[in-house]
């Protein structure tokens, strides 16, 4: 049976960052075409000889100057036949987390500008990218129950309160801080340092570092990370 098909495959990158108790998402402003000046997720078409993961890393680097290699496949968007006004496009979305302070944005190719936006203050977006971001945020929240995250969102050395605040921000409700601290320390994937940092008006807090090997070993074994709320 002869099949008529003229479908394009694209990738979109949802990159979350965290600063000052706020979660951010990285967006670009379209530079050309009918969607010029509209904000959107970084992304673009996949080359014929290119793996999907390589394509999303390339598009993100070209459009924002940011290189994120630890991107996780999120979902495939294509049920809406008119999600792209130009032609039929199926998009494979990937998401990742970074510390914005460690990155310098540099818009390129078909991006006029690259900018971090607070998740609760995202502008009107092109395509179905608002839906994609919401899907990624739901996945991020769900991951907290089976995979401790956040260390790539924080500084290399951080007070424990920063980790607590990060989880509260993502989960959008207060956590049981005593239980949270006990559980985190029981897994032994963070270590105390001899350094302190003053946080707010309180006394200086001890700084911690992330133990990569221990964390990766735990992931291989499989861990349960149930969070109790206040």
Q: Concatenated DSSP letters for 32-100?
A: SSTTTT-EE-SEEEPPTT--HHHHHHHHHHHHHS------EEEEEE-SSTTSSSSS-EEEEEEEEEE-G
Kindly tell me the number of DSSP H helices and DSSP E strands found in the chain: 5, 10
Q: What is the Cα–Cα distance from 55 to 49, expressed in whole angstroms? A: 10
Q: Is 48 exposed, middle or buried (0-12, 13-18, 19+ CB in 10 A)?
A: exposed
Paired with 116 in beta bridges are: 26
Place of tokens 């993100």: 60
Compute CA distances 165 → 3, 73, 174, whole Å. Answer: 53, 26, 9
Sign of CA dihedral 31, 37, 41, 45: negative
Residue 112: active-site member: no
Q: Which of 50, 72, 113, 164 is catalytic?
A: 113
* Token pair belonging to 194: 């001899």
User: Which residues are annotated as catalytic?
Assistant: 113
């Amino acid at each position: 049976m002869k099949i008529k098909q003229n479908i394009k495959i694209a990738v979109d990158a949802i990159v979350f960052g965290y600063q000052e108790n706020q979660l951010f998402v990285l967006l670009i402003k379209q530079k050309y075409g009918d969607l010029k000046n509209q904000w959107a997720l970084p992304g673009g078409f996949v080359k014929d000889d290119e793996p999907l993961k390589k394509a999303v890393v390339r598009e993100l680097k070209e459009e924002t100057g940011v290189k994120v290699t630890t991107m996780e496949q999120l979902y495939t968007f294509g049920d809406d036949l008119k999600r792209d006004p130009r032609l039929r496009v199926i998009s494979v979305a990937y998401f990742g987390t970074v510390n914005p302070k460690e990155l310098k944005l540099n818009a390129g190719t078909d991006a006029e500008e690259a900018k971090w936006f607070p998740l609760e203050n995202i502008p009107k977006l092109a395509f179905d990218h608002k839906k994609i971001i919401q899907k990624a945020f739901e996945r991020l929240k769900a991951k907290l129950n089976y995979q401790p995250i956040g260390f790539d969102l924080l500084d290399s050395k951080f007070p424990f309160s920063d980790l607590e605040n990060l989880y509260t921000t993502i989960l959008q409700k207060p956590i049981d801080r005593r239980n949270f601290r006990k559980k985190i320390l029981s897994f032994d994937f963070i270590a105390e340092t001899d350094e302190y940092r003053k946080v707010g008006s309180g006394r200086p807090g001890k700084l911690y570092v992330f133990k990569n090997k221990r964390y990766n070993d735990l992931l291989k074994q499989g861990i349960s990370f149930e969070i109790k709320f206040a």
